[in-house]
């Protein structure tokens, strides 16, 4: 979706390194969602952010939503091979009746 | 074992043929969705249904058809009118006040053209 831009498109990191993935919206959204996809499989819900400035963590993954609710970052601390996959951000926009997705960031973690 | 079952995992379509992708859920969710995923692109919505016997077109409905006769089932037919059907197809159910705040996905069907 051109409404959501993710960067980088792909990322290769050494195991144990930290990394950040960004998701930028062209307009203010109601909610921002992060999903993870293993290759050739369905998406798994990670986190939902609905308030400006909100931050949530799950194990070693932290996601933040900026005050203007147009940009989110996903940060992984001390990456592991199990973190590899495609990370997609999704957004709930005013006036829409469905989730809009970014193109995804493909993460590879080298042991 | 609650979840969403998509079948088959791999499907091949011949020229001029219609094929049907199955999606069954036992999560008791009202809302169901079909997305198409192409390499390097995000998910694009094909059709969605928020209640039995009712469904709405998404952004790329042309060449596809659906039905929702039962709450548990939302099959997608890829018709011969869809000229570029090769893609990964994902079915999802949704929770939340608007039916999609949290989505649950099946494991997908890879459709290829012979």
Say if residue B39's pLDDT is above 90: no
Condensed to tens digits (0 to 9), the pLDDT of residues A80-105 reads: 999 999 999 999 988 888 899 999 99
Say if residue B114's pLDDT is above 90: no
Mean pLDDT score across all residues of chain A: 93
B102 → closest Cβ in A48, A88, A104:
A48
Contact A48 B56 (CB under 8 A): no
Q: What residues 5-34 of chain B have any CB closer than 8 A to a CB of chain A?
A: 6, 33
DSSP codes of every residue in chain B: --SEEEE-SEEEE-TT--EEEEEEE-S--SEEEEEEE-TTS-EEEEEEEEETTEEEE-TT-TTEEE--SBTTB--EEE-TT-S---EEEEEEEEESTTS-SEEEE---EEEEE-
Say if residue A57's pLDDT is above 90: yes
Say if residue B57's pLDDT is above 80: yes
| Phi, psi (deg, nearest 5) at residue A66 | -75, 170
Condensed to tens digits (0 to 9), the pLDDT of residues A35-50 reads: 999 989 999 999 999 9
User: Could you tell me which residue, B98 or A11, shows the higher pLDDT?
Assistant: A11
Quick one: pLDDT band at residue B2, thresholds 50, 70, 90? low
Mean pLDDT score across all residues of chain B: 93
The answer to whether the beta carbons of residues A13 and A108 sit under 8 Å apart is yes
Say if residue B63's pLDDT is above 70: yes
- Chain B residues within an 8 Å CB radius of A38: none
Segment B87-101 mean pLDDT: 90
Give the mutation candidate from A9, A42, A48, A88 for the B interface (greatest B CB count, under 10 A): A42
At B41 the pLDDT is 82
Contact B98 A97 (CB under 8 A): yes
At B1 the pLDDT is 56
Segment A31-35 mean pLDDT: 95
User: Chain A: which residues have CB within 8 Å of chain B?
Assistant: 1, 4, 9, 31, 33, 35, 40-45, 48, 88, 90, 92, 97-104
At A23 the pLDDT is 97
At B85 the pLDDT is 94
Other Cβ atoms closer than 10 A to A20: 14
């Amino acid at each position: 979706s051109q409404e959501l831009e993710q960067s980088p498109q792909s990322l290769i990191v050494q195991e144990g390194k930290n990394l950040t993935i960004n998701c930028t919206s062209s307009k203010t959204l109601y909610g921002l969602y992060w999903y993870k996809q293993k290759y050739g499989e369905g998406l798994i819900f990670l986190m939902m952010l609905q308030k400006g400035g909100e931050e949530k963590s799950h194990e070693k993954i932290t996601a933040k939503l900026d005050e203007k609710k147009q940009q989110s970052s996903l940060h992984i601390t001390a990456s592991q091979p199990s973190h590899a996959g495609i990370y997609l951000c999704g957004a709930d926009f005013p006036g829409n009746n469905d989730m809009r997705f970014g193109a995804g960031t493909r993460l590879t973690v080298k042991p | 074992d609650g979840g969403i079952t998509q079948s088959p995992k791999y499907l091949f379509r011949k020229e001029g043929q219609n094929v049907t992708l199955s999606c069954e859920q036992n999560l008791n969710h009202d809302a169901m969705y079909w997305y198409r995923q192409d390499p390097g692109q995000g998910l694009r919505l094909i059709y969605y249904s928020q209640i039995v016997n009712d469904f709405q077109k998404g952004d790329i409905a042309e060449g596809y058809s659906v039905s929702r006769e039962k709450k548990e089932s939302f099959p997608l037919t890829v018709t011969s009118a869809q000229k570029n059907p090769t893609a990964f197809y994902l079915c999802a159910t949704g929770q939340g006040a608007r039916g999609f705040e949290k989505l649950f996905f099946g494991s997908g069907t890879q459709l290829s053209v012979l």
